[in-house]
Structure 1
């Protein structure tokens, strides 16, 4: 057994201490605080030091990695036990156990196969079930030990474990090993928010949601339309969209990812020769996914939060049209770029002067038509699958207008600011925000 694998096993053992939280109550943070102090000031050599030491720890002569992870766990334990409106113990345990055992799973997988996908698969294969079981054990210790109560709580446990696993796998994939404390804290806080937004989790809904999102995410990776981080981001957004919104919202979202990904691959070699192809062989990373879908996700969160708030306007109108408008803008912009880039004689949108293919802010009439068709596709899906209020032609037109507006904003920003001032992902974000504001604004003015 390698030292890396032994160290991961040691951290998993430390994470298991979180299961004692219900019994310890407000003292749940004490074991982790004690380990942090011992790691920082007492254990400087010997078997325990060799077990937990990372290369940098040996240079410093103290267990900085163990100390920082334990301090992060201490902070989460305090959030779960001390404040009045505290983090649920299930979220605390799912985070700590899921991440520490997930790291062990990732290390086990990496001993058998190299590559980021194998590591992520190993992380999820062990971290997810560990988080589910950990929550069940906490429920038993806390007194909810009856079988019916455990069965009723299981869908919620699965949702929390899945969110924690995906968030942690995504965050750790873009950070370094020494940033485990950041992974712990950010995962715990985000999952706490997601858990608070959910009113209830239907067993069939969560089962189908996991099956569909994981299958589609894996397919996107295999087909080369998403990188590992892009796949994780897409699966997480898809899962949250289903649980916080509905399957209808998810279909609209996945339609963009599917059509957009395939349009990127369409005649890719020709685009590469023309200098207009996406980098990384067309595989979308997490920044690209978030640039196109972050606004839509905020709309989903707003829709879920509206169940806990009293709003002066209908939530489905305010957030439904904002969601559909942002996706329409993303679809419209993607198709206009991917299809329009295949044609000659592009013109700069601000001056209509001919420019070389691939110039930021350049448009072709073929691309503009493709963009309108993309916006109309999203509008049609949203009209059928989402709770959009108002007469069908007016509702669909509202989404199309938002999509075209977002596409136009993207081109204008590309011609004026993109490059030295802001990057492509920021332009995508602003374009989808424009689509959301235009569609949502028209809906609130005309349809309410």
Structure 2
């Protein structure tokens, strides 16, 4: 049943990405493969985290596009297969490695009943997407900062849109991105403890 669910949800994700032009065709194919691995997890929050990251990140990428296109290093808003793999491969890998530990859970056991290895891999998964969301939120919102950013390596002012440029708005957005992913796991796990 998980495979049917994963195929359907993965297909919807790719269709959405092509309609919104948030992924290139190659990016859509890569997203479908990695989504299948994630969506077949027996624990719902793996799916939830990936969807929260993808949908919120895609929305922010399209936010004030005309302004962002004025900055040379920002580039295209459609993500390529390379970008998709960079953002999602490690997440999918942790799901694949932890599947056996999750399969050993009995019906009715809670989010806090996993083996140590499954728990570590789960925290790696959450941390991975929290970092990815922090990076995406920071780059998509930080570029809109009214103040001049500073380069993280030299602490000297640089033009907006420069890779490595840091602003207060970008730092706040990064914190928000990580928090959004954390809350997307924590809230359902506390409110609804049955992982099945």
Contact (CA 8 Å) 2:73, 2:163: kept in 1 or not? no
Q: Is the 8 A contact 1:249 1:385 kept in 2?
A: no
Conservation of the 8 A alpha-carbon contact between 1:276 and 1:357: no
Give the helix-richer structure, 1 or 2.
1
- 2:157 and 2:58 mapped to 1: Cα distance? 28
- 2:151/2:157 contact within 8 Å kept: yes
Gaps of 5+ in 1: 1-202, 388-448
1:379 CA drift (Å):
0.3
Distance 1:333 1:259, change over 3 A: same
Q: Structure 2 regions of 5+ residues with no counterpart? A: 105-114, 191-196
Correspondence list, 1:425-440, <5 A: none
C-alpha displacement at 1:240, in angstroms?
A: 1.3
Match of 1:360 among 137, 149, 163: 163
Q: TM-score, normalised by structure 2?
A: 0.83
SS at the partner of 1:224? coil
1:208 counterpart residue number: 5
Query: Cα–Cα, structure 1 residues 244 and 208, in superposed 2: closer, same or farther, change >3 Å?
Result: closer
Q: Distance in 1 between matches of 2:125 and 2:26?
A: 23
Partner of residue 375, structure 1: 178
Residues 245, 354 of structure 1: alpha-carbon distance in 2 compared, 3 angstrom cutoff: farther
287, 306, 323: which one aligns with 2:82:
287
- The answer for the alignment partner of 2:14 in structure 1 is 217
1:117 aligns with none
Alignment match, 1:348: 151
SS at match of 1:283: coil
The alignment's TM-score, normalised by the length of structure 1, stands at 0.38
Corresponding position: 1:297 with 2:99: no
SS of residue paired to 1:241 = helix
2:111 match? none
SS in 1 for 2:15: helix
Post-superposition offset of 1:276: 4.2
Determine if contact 1:245/1:300 at 8 Å carries over to the other structure.
no
Deviations 1:77-107 (A, max 9, x none): xxxxxxxxxxxxxxxxxxxxxxxxxxxxxxx
Question: How big is each residue's C-alpha offset from its partner over 1:161-213, in whole Å with a ceiling of 9 and x where there is no partner?
Answer: xxxxxxxxxxxxxxxxxxxxxxxxxxxxxxxxxxxxxxxxxx3x332322222
- 1:385 is displaced (CA, Å) by 4.4
Q: CA RMSD in A?
A: 2.1
| C-alpha separation in 1, matches of 2:133 and 2:82 | 16
Q: Which of 122, 129, 152 lines up with 1:327 in the alignment?
A: 129
CA deviation map 1:91-134 (0-9, x unaligned): xxxxxxxxxxxxxxxxxxxxxxxxxxxxxxxxxxxxxxxxxxxx
**What per-residue deviation string (whole Å, max 9, x for no partner) do you get for residues 134-154 of structure 1?**
xxxxxxxxxxxxxxxxxxxxx
| Structure 1 stretches of at least 4 aligned residues deviating more than 4 Å after TM superposition | 305-309
Superposed CA deviations along residues 270-295 of structure 1, whole A, max 9, x for unmatched, are 1111224332xx11111000111111
Is the alpha carbon distance of 1:245 and 1:368 closer, same or farther for their aligned partners in structure 2, counting shifts above 3 Å? farther
Equivalent pairs counted in the alignment come to 179
Give the structure 1 partner of residue 69 of structure 2: 272
